[in-house]
Chain A
């Protein structure tokens, strides 16, 4: 089996899985309905109308009181620990978890519907997961060939568009960059599929979930495998669509539906800029194929290159949730946790980073664009970290953490540390996926609770989850040995070496904050005493094996990837693998500030190497210390001295403490500003335009009709039917003609 065929199979298998799930999925599951005790093959939630419910109720002759599927709104409110807690605005809207009665037909929030009556069966996972596993095998074979064999593959399938001068082929390009992404996407994707078997068990939309997951895999793989900008864009849009479908998976929940819309719309804003950038590329260069574009990009006017680069980056800002388009990602936590793990940690949000890395020749030609990328990256990093400090929902902490870590990657790309960025991408994909899935396990085990204020003491009951999550957190905090340490410190070292001293300092501060909020999360969740409802404590249990196994599997690369790829620092294996992808940008010394250490070295023709007992080692120490300090502070404040955070806030001078806290909890009011300016402004504008359309435009049309009618009515009076009137008209005309003839001669 040739490698080219394998490459073609990689995206083909998931799309086959999607088709299978869509066509046969409903038949394979047997999901209990909640009105009659009979099995129906209608395993999905099609009936929402009152008439349909009434019709079903008419057949209700089976006592299904044993089947407690649908709690009423009162029941939901009574048993929810959120009841009465609306002080946390970050979790306010819909956060009390109550689904309105007329919409609720058993779609669980965490996937548990209490069974009773006939045993439900969920079989539709088998083929989709199998196909994704096969795709993973193919991906790994290709990865090995590329990385260890040093090959780059070009596979052309057929010409898609051939219209005059515009030619686009369906073709795949697999080089070192694609291979790294394949590793992350395929592996984490497969693990999430396996995890979902357990997590989504009991959900009425079980088959639909796997269909969407497979569709997502197909789209993401298309995105990273494509060899031209148009295929990238197609995959880009498709993952945006899948993100919408998956975030809004529980579509009857208003907050979920709203979050899905928000994600898609905000994404689309970035995509608009991205689309313009692609059009600009084609207009200027006549081709969209990566290699052809990168060869000729240098011939363009520098301003044009900057504009193109910034437009492309706009797309990345939207897709990878950087400021100011970051607002969709925290709300996207409305989706099931596997979705968060896959899309918002390990794969989709990486698309922006991949795209900028892929287009590095374009960015390398434009120092302005690179500076913009780095600045937005640094700013978003500290901005998101500042919000994550005060969040109480465990998934929201991880969401903002994702935004912050992605910002690190953009920071790295912007300063020219391309390899470091990709390294961090790979490491982050693994440990963030791990963290999300572990948090899903926590939520599952805690009976659907997501608020960390109502957790605690879980480490004894959920050992596997606890230890894997700790490993993930250590990686995220950048503790030595673990993956995050090598990648994050490489980024910081590059920042220092290239002369970005201020950004470096900010980066270190963010590392400290990251460690702090991560371990705050750990301590609040697993240590101390259980703070939730007493009955719920009895149900706290470790999760099923299908859920825990992926956690363990992911813990391995979390520990090892750093060691494997990143040693020696600033020159590890990953540099060798990715050398060819970035060599053009390296030649240009993109991102190196004058007067910096690297600049000096290059000027003298030396290669700057890593010195353990020199600058390099010092930077490593600084990074590790920042991480350790963060953990220590979290320990002091959340284990030893729980009252300390509150007192700290009070002691902040000038009484700014509570205000700063509120600002952080409310996400610095960015969403509120958007609501005011764009949502309300948009409504106002559309009302204005409606007025214009109804009154002016319609008025003109109606007015034309009125005018015709009126003038007709007036002219009608000339038709008197009397000969003499007509005669007078004729005579008058004759006189006028005479006058005209005689006078105007």
Chain B
């Protein structure tokens, strides 16, 4: 497909993930969108590695690191979200407005 194609896909995915993060009201769905964004970045990294850096492995390794970190972050994040949902009995982020002025 060519580098540009992969990059376009990556950009699209990133944008979609950003939109979803900002626009949906469910807290778990927000975490899902975060994962989407991280994946988009992964894709672009690997694409660069394949096309623009022949013989290099940095991109792939970076992508692997990101995946690990994403996993850790998803774990902790879900733990938090579960705790919050248990406390407030709702998954609506609109309700999490204790810091409101």
Contact = CB atoms under 8 A, between A and B. Distances in A.
A718 B97 CA distance: 12
Interface string B80-101: 0000000000000110111111
B93 A721 contact: no
B30 A724 contact: yes
B21 interface: yes
B22 to A, nearest CB: 5
A724 B98 CA distance: 14
A717 B101 CA distance: 7
Interface residues of A, number: 12
Contacts of A718: 101
A719 B101 contact: yes
B96 A723 contact: yes
Contacts of A719: 99-101
A728 interface: yes
Interface in A690-733: 716-724, 727-728, 731
B21 A721 contact: no
A731 B22 contact: yes
B22 A716 contact: no
Contact of B21 (A716, A717, A720, A727): A727
Contact of A721 (B18, B30, B99): B99
A62 B98 CA distance: 84
Interface in B13-53: 18, 21-23, 30
B51 to A, nearest CB: 23
A722 B22 contact: no
A731 B23 CA distance: 12
B18 A722 contact: no
A723 B101 contact: no
A718 B100 CA distance: 9
Contacts of B96: 721-723
Contacts of B18: 731
A719 B98 CA distance: 11
A722 B99 CA distance: 8
Nearest to B95: A722
Contacts of B98: 721
Contacts of B97: 720-722
Nearest to B101: A719
A372 to B, nearest CB: 74
Contacts of A720: 97, 100-101
A291 to B, nearest CB: 78
A127 B65 CA distance: 110
Contacts of B21: 724, 727
A569 B85 CA distance: 122
A184 B14 CA distance: 108
Nearest to A730: B22
A513 B97 CA distance: 99
B5 to A, nearest CB: 22
B78 to A, nearest CB: 16
Contacts of B22: 724, 727-728, 731
A169 B23 CA distance: 87
A716 B30 CA distance: 25
Contacts of A727: 21-22
Nearest to A718: B101
B15 to A, nearest CB: 10
Given A727-B21, A728-B22, A731-B18, A722 B93 contact: yes
Interface in B58-84: none
A557 to B, nearest CB: 92
B20 to A, nearest CB: 11
A716 B93 CA distance: 20
Nearest to B99: A721
A733 to B, nearest CB: 13
Given A724-B21, A727-B22, A716 B101 contact: yes
For B22, B23, B94, B96, the residue with the greatest tally of chain A CB atoms inside 10 Å of its CB is: B22
Nearest to A716: B101
Nearest to A732: B22
A724 B93 contact: yes
A88 to B, nearest CB: 78
Nearest to B25: A724
B21 to A, nearest CB: 6
Contacts of A716: 101
Contacts of B94: 722
A723 B98 CA distance: 11
Nearest to A723: B93
Contacts of A724: 21-23, 30, 93
Nearest to B96: A722
A165 B96 CA distance: 76
Nearest to B98: A721
A731 to B, nearest CB: 6
A708 to B, nearest CB: 16
Contacts of B30: 724
B92 to A, nearest CB: 10
Interface of B: 18, 21-23, 30, 93-94, 96-101
- The 3 A-B pairs of least Cβ separation, nearest first, read A721-B100, A719-B101, A721-B97
24 contacts: A717-B101, A718-B101, A719-B101, A720-B97, A720-B101, A721-B96, A721-B97, A721-B98, A721-B100, A721-B101, A722-B97, A722-B100, A723-B93, A723-B96, A724-B21, A724-B22, A724-B23, A724-B30, A724-B93, A727-B21, A727-B22, A728-B22, A731-B18, A731-B22
Interface of A: 716-724, 727-728, 731
Given A717-B101, A722-B94, A722-B96, 17 more contacts: A716-B101, A719-B99, A719-B100, A720-B97, A720-B101, A721-B96, A721-B97, A722-B93, A722-B97, A724-B22, A724-B23, A724-B93, A727-B21, A727-B22, A728-B22, A731-B18, A731-B22
